Chains A and B, each alone.
Chain A
């Protein structure tokens, strides 16, 4: 791949300055490549090689308690077979689907609602917009701690309030009915600013003409929003949704701090299951297989993003 790049690369600059000597062109190209090579090498070392290693590991029964398991390729597909047979993997995927569906859905709704509310030029709203960003910029672990406080009956202001008015409520994070929702609520709080920010930018980019046309037609505010604004926002909604979808598969700190996958397996998403298998029960080979599948899914979604919206979306 490298050689091909080298020989066929041509710079825009060359086209601009016209009629360069051949040697000069080559030299320029080489110079540019000096800048790219170190980074590519580092990227290969820190991302490509580990991914290959992960795949190789997934073909072994690697387990630190079993000597020699690291190089045991006698049954390379055993982890993948076990994975298909393991009801917990399927269950965890289903839980992930629910978690992703509700978090992304609510984040888009809340993000859109707040974006519409804030979409007007005023110094007050500009200042306020910054405050809305805070949940998103907090370290994820602090977000988890904040919600641990809010979900712990002994000290949570919500629970104390409910107790005071005589309607005590059970702890959400230990209830099978609400544990997943407790994660969803915290995740929506943390990330709706992201969708808000993207949709707000898109709203401010909207072309004038269709909106004016709608006004002339006498469309009501709601109709205008539904039939004119929303379709125009579609690409931005799609991009924001896809990004949140990918990130929703990584909601680790919330689950680590709030529920540890429980109660039972109510919040045992695939990422958590893989973590437990690898680093609590020493099934590194098996966990690698789960992770390989997860990486493939991520790759697919990333490809989808690039295909749908191109490499770069300009929502400015």
Chain B
């Protein structure tokens, strides 16, 4: 444990929180084995020299009970047998994890010291913003390296990463009762969320924490009402409403992040456009149609006309901040990014936010639906321990706690989604958002097939470039999408696929 002691510049020994938690590990594990409900070490507890804390704690096993967030009694109880066994197994194990920045990641990272206390493992989690995460992880996975023991599989990379054999098949872990107790219930995850996380053989390669379906939220719904209008249901109404609320109270009508190839597709498909001819069998890109140009043009115009300055480089977090701070009104995005607006602790718009479904275009409504999860990279040298973390982070108890106590919305365990507590929690600013979400969970839309093909990242990059070129007036929608089509075709061919062009 001496390596966990770090020296501060003056050379004085200081004890980090991790060292402290490590020190109480043995105690925690022992206490659990004895079957008593030990409060998990509170992250808020002031670090104390481990040497003095540990013996003291042995005698009084409730050192931090008052400051600790109430731990789930059920979790402690059901996991006691496995965790006690794991405690010996994972002591001295060092796990590295990589997650992309997301409300879920932030919360689970903050809770992970509890996992460390339970199992004795030392866990380091790197969190990066989505685009950056994909770049880095794609590079790391392509080497089949051992840098990370658990990592997020992100939606557009699911086919590439699973298909190329860069993630570990989880079925053996799920099937083995010694590794996974029956109560853990792997089949509880919504089929819509699991769909993309399975390999061609139907095996599961990751467990989902988000089933992201696009909904619409207006942080300042009051401005819409004040204008005598309702939440828009169609693209045309969107423009009408946006024109009416733009710059009212200094609030921009719209905001989005820079992942245009996610945000724009619902609009492209709403106008009747498609991305690929017939995925996954025929990957010929069909971005050069008038419908695609219309949809991309519509979306780019939203970015150009109604958004805060610099929106083209906004990350997910920055776009969410704009809504939380009340600088921007509407956003069409996954619920995980929209539900925090109703949280008075984070948001200035908790009492004005309004939710609605994704609007329809002339050809119908095509809310984009994805899922993200965590799996074990193939090169990991601590797969069993990594599974312990996944099991802990995605257990029914943890998911319940994350959603009910910590207000995390886009969970995928149906047993939790169907509880009255979840329904109550997801009644946001008086609106029943739970049923909007449950409705998305039940879908497995065929129109999403374009997105889970191996070369989608390249196709996405071409679309991204085109949308930003349209939004900045560098090219007409037609010209930009035509270029995108050429680029996508070249890249799909370069990736070894036969297409019609």
Asked if the two chains touch in their complex, CB atoms less than 8 Å apart, one says yes
Interface positions of B from 318 to 356, Cβ below 8 Å from A: none
Closest residue of A by beta carbon distance from B487: A88
Contact call B487/A69, Cβ cutoff below 8 A: no
**A residues 26-65 in Cβ contact with B at 8 Å:** 61, 63-65
In angstroms, Cα B164 to Cα A85, docked, is 28
Instruction: Say yes or no: is B486 at the interface (Cβ < 8 Å to chain A).
Output: yes
Pick the residue among A87, A262, A280, A281 that contacts B468 (CB under 8 A): A262
Complex formed: what's the CA distance from A283 to B461 in Å?
A: 14
Name the segment of A171-179, A200-208, A232-240 touching the other chain: A171-179
Q: In whole Å, how far is B102's beta carbon from the nearest beta carbon of chain A?
A: 20
Question: Judging by beta carbons under 8 Å apart, are A65 and B495 in contact?
Answer: yes
- Partner pick for A280 among B164, B457, B473, CB 8 A cutoff: B457
Counting CB contacts under 8 A, is A86 at the interface?
A: yes
State the Cβ distance, A112 to closest chain B Cβ, in Å: 35
Encoded as 1 (CB less than 8 Å from any B CB) or 0, chain A from 61 to 86 comes to: 10111100100000000000010011
Task: Given the known inter-chain contacts A85-B490, A280-B138, A282-B142, please indicate yes or no for A176 contacting B313, CB distance below 8 A.
Answer: no
* 24 contacts across the A-B interface (CB closer than 8 A): A64-B142, A65-B163, A65-B164, A65-B495, A65-B496, A85-B490, A87-B483, A153-B309, A170-B309, A171-B310, A175-B472, A262-B313, A263-B312, A263-B469, A263-B472, A264-B468, A264-B469, A264-B474, A276-B461, A280-B135, A280-B138, A281-B457, A282-B138, A283-B494
Minimum CB–CB distance for A89 against chain B, Å: 11
User: Which B residues lie within 8 Å of A168 (CB)?
Assistant: 309
Q: Which of A64, A82, A87 has the most CB of B within 10 A?
A: A64
Q: Is the CB of B109 closer than 8 A to any CB of chain A?
A: no
Judge if A286 is at the interface, Cβ distance under 8 Å: yes
Rounded to whole Å, the gap between the CB of B275 and the closest CB of chain A is 17
Q: In the complex, A16 Cα to B496 Cα: how many Å?
A: 66
CB of A82 within 8 A of CB of B495, answer: no
Check if B36 is an interface residue, CB within 8 A of chain A. Answer: no
CB 8 Å contact bits of A272-306 with B (1 = contact, 0 = none) = 00001001111100100000000000000000000
Does any Cβ of A come within 8 Å of B458's Cβ?
yes
Interface size classification for chain A: 20 to 34
Contact B164 A87 (CB under 8 A): no
> CA of A88 to CA of B135 in the docked complex: distance in angstroms?
20
Chain B residue, CB-CB nearest to A171: B310
Evaluate contact between A153 and B310: CB separation under 8 angstroms. Answer: yes
Is B14 in contact with chain A by the CB < 8 A criterion?
A: no
Q: Min CB distance, B260 to chain A, in Å?
A: 10
B227 neighbours in A (Cβ, 8 Å): none
Chain A residue numbers with a CB within 8 Å of B472 are 175-176, 263-264
* Contact call B142/A171, Cβ cutoff below 8 A: no
| B60 → A minimal CB distance (Å) | 48
B209 adjacent to chain A (CB < 8 Å): no
Cβ-closest 4 pairs across A and B:
A171-B310, A264-B469, A64-B142, A176-B472
B65 → A minimal CB distance (Å):
42
Fill in one digit per residue for B112-146: 1 if any A CB lies within 8 Å of its CB, else 0: 00000000000000000000001100110011000
Q: Which residue of A lies closest to B475 (CB)?
A: A264
A82–B483 Cα distance when bound, in Å, is: 16
Q: What's the minimum C-beta distance from B287 to chain A, rounded to whole angstroms?
A: 15
- Measured in the bound complex, the distance between the Cα atoms of B142 and A286 in whole Å is 16
- Report if A265 contacts B (CB, 8 A): yes
User: In the assembly, what is the distance between CA of A65 and CA of B142, in Å?
Assistant: 8
The answer to whether A63 touches B491 (Cβ under 8 A) is no
- State the Cβ distance, A207 to closest chain B Cβ, in Å: 52
Nearest CB in chain A: distance from B389 CB, A? 26
Assembly CA distance A282 to B454 (angstroms) = 11
**Complex alpha-carbon distance, A282 and B457, angstroms:** 10
8 Å CB contacts to A: which residues of B471-501? 471-475, 483, 486-487, 490-491, 494-496
Q: In this assembly, does B383 line the interface, its C-beta being within 8 Å of a C-beta of chain A?
A: no
Are A63 and B465 in touch, CB under 8 angstroms? no
**Do residues A281 and B483 form an inter-chain contact, with CB atoms below 8 A?**
no
A176 contacts B309, C-beta separation under 8 Å: no
- Asked if B310 and A82 sit within 8 Å, CB to CB, the answer is no
How many angstroms from the CA of A308 to the CA of B176 in the assembled complex? 72
Please name all residues of chain B whose beta carbon is closer than 8 Å to the beta carbon of A66 when the two chains form the complex: 495-496
A306: min CB distance to chain B, Å: 36
The complex places the Cα of A286 from the Cα of B490 at a distance, in Å, of 12
Do B495 and A63 touch (CB < 8 A)?
Answer: yes
In the complex where A82-B490, A265-B465, A279-B135 touch, is A170 in contact with B496 (Cβ < 8 A)? Answer: no
Q: Which residues of B contact A65 (CB under 8 A)?
A: 142, 160, 163-164, 454, 495-496
- Residues of A within 8 Å of B465, CB to CB, are 262, 264-265
In the bound assembly, the distance between CA atoms of A65 and B492 in angstroms comes to 13
Q: Shortest Cβ distance from B320 into chain A, in angstroms?
A: 15
**Considering residues B310, B311, B486, which has the most beta carbons from chain A within 10 angstroms of its beta carbon?**
B310
A168 CA to B308 CA, complexed, in Å:
12
A64 touches B313 (CB 8 A): no
CB neighbours of B142 from chain A (8 A): 64-65, 282
A175 to B160, CA, bound (A): 33
Q: Looking at the assembled complex, report how far the CB atom of A59 sits from the nearest CB atom of chain B, in whole angstroms.
A: 15
Q: How far is the CA of A283 from the CA of B474 in the complex (A)?
A: 28
Given the known A-B contacts A65-B164, A263-B468, A282-B138, are A86 and B490 also in contact in the complex, defined by CB atoms under 8 Å? Answer: yes
Known A82-B490, A86-B490, A281-B458; judge A174-B312 contact (CB<8 A): yes
**Which residues of the partner chain A approach B475 to less than 8 Å between Cβ atoms?**
264
Most chain A CB neighbours (cut-off 10 Å) among B163, B311, B313, B486: B313
Contact A171/B313 with A65-B160, A280-B139, A280-B457 known, Cβ cut-off 8 Å: yes
A126 CB, min distance to chain B CBs, angstroms = 34
Q: Are A279 and B494 in contact (CB under 8 A)?
A: no
Cβ-defined contact, A82 with B494, below 8 A: yes
> In whole angstroms, what is the CA distance A276 to B457 when docked?
11
Q: Which of B313, B454, B466, B495 is the one whose CB lies under 8 Å from A174?
A: B313
Which chain B residues border A282 with CB–CB below 8 Å? 138, 142, 495
- A136-153: CB near B (< 8 Å → 1, else 0) gives 000000000000000011
Q: Which residues of B contact A174 (CB under 8 A)?
A: 310-313
Given contacts A85-B490, A280-B138, A281-B458, 19 further A-B contacts (CB under 8 A): A63-B494, A65-B142, A65-B160, A65-B163, A65-B164, A66-B496, A87-B483, A152-B310, A153-B310, A174-B312, A176-B469, A262-B313, A263-B472, A264-B466, A264-B472, A264-B474, A283-B491, A283-B495, A286-B494
Which chain A residues lie closer than 8 Å to B495 at the CB level?
Answer: 63, 65-66, 282-283
- Most chain B beta carbons < 10 A, residue from A173, A262, A264: A264
Interface residues of B in 154-181 (CB under 8 A from A): 160, 163-164
Among A82, A86, A176, point to the contact of B474 (Cβ < 8 A). A176
**CB-CB nearest in chain B for A265:** B465
CB-nearest residue of chain B to A72:
B496
**Nearest-CB distance from B244 to chain A (Å)?**
23
Q: Mark each residue of chain B from 298 to 320: 1 if its CB lies under 8 Å from any CB of chain A, else 0.
A: 00000000000111110000000
Residue of A at shortest CB range from B311? A174
A153: B residues at CB distance < 8 A: 309-310
